[in-house]
Chains A and B, each alone.
Chain A
Amino acid sequence: MKGDTKVELKIPSLPEFVAVARLAVAAIASRMDFPYDAVDDIKVAVGEACTNAIEHTAYSAPPGDEIIISCYLEQDALVIEVNDEGPGFDPQLCTEPDVLSEGGLGLILIQALMDEVELTSLAGQGTRVRMTKRLRPAPLTPAR
Chain B
Amino acid sequence: MNLTVKSRRLGTGTGVISLVGEVDVYSVPQAKQAMYELVDAGAHQLLIDLTATDYLDSTAMGALVGVMKKVAESGGWVRLVGPSPRIRRLFEITRLDRILPIFDSEEAALGDLSGKEGRA
Is the pair A15, B98 in contact by a Cβ cutoff of 8 Å?
Answer: no
Is the pair A101, B65 in contact by a Cβ cutoff of 8 Å?
Answer: yes
Interface residues on B, range: 20 to 34
Contacts of A40 in B (CB 8 A): 86
User: Is B106 in the interface zone, CB < 8 Å from A?
Assistant: no
Contacts of B90 in A (CB 8 A): 44, 109
Chain B 38-69 interface mask (CB, 8 Å, partner A; 1/0): 00000000000000000101110111011001
Chain A 66-97 interface mask (CB, 8 Å, partner B; 1/0): 00000000000000000000000000000000
Q: Is the interface of B mostly helix, strand, loop or mixed?
A: helix
Is the pair B24, A51 in contact by a Cβ cutoff of 8 Å?
Answer: yes
Residue of A nearest to B84 (CB): A40
Residue of B nearest to A54 (CB): B25
CA distance A48 to B61 in the complex (A): 12
User: Is B33 in the interface zone, CB < 8 Å from A?
Assistant: no
Interface residues on A, range: 20 to 34
User: Total A-B pairs in contact (CB under 8 Å)?
Assistant: 61
Contacts of A47 in B (CB 8 A): 24-25, 55, 57
- Of residues 106 through 121 on chain A, the ones whose CB sits less than 8 Å from some CB of chain B are 106, 108-109, 112-113
Is the pair A109, B86 in contact by a Cβ cutoff of 8 Å?
Answer: no
User: Is B120 in the interface zone, CB < 8 Å from A?
Assistant: no
Is the pair B95, A18 in contact by a Cβ cutoff of 8 Å?
Answer: no
Is the pair B25, A51 in contact by a Cβ cutoff of 8 Å?
Answer: yes
Residue of B nearest to A112 (CB): B93
Is the pair B25, A102 in contact by a Cβ cutoff of 8 Å?
Answer: no
CA distance A40 to B90 in the complex (A): 11
CA distance A60 to B99 in the complex (A): 34
Contacts A18-B25, A44-B90, A54-B25 given; does A99 touch B99 at CB 8 Å: yes
Question: What is B's interface to A at a CB cutoff of 8 Å?
Answer: 2, 22, 24-26, 55, 57-59, 61-63, 65-66, 69, 86, 90, 93-96, 98-99
Q: What are 19 A-B residue pairs whose CB atoms fall within 8 Å in the complex?
A: A15-B24, A15-B26, A18-B26, A19-B2, A40-B86, A47-B25, A47-B55, A47-B57, A48-B58, A51-B25, A51-B58, A99-B94, A99-B99, A100-B69, A101-B62, A101-B65, A103-B58, A105-B94, A108-B93
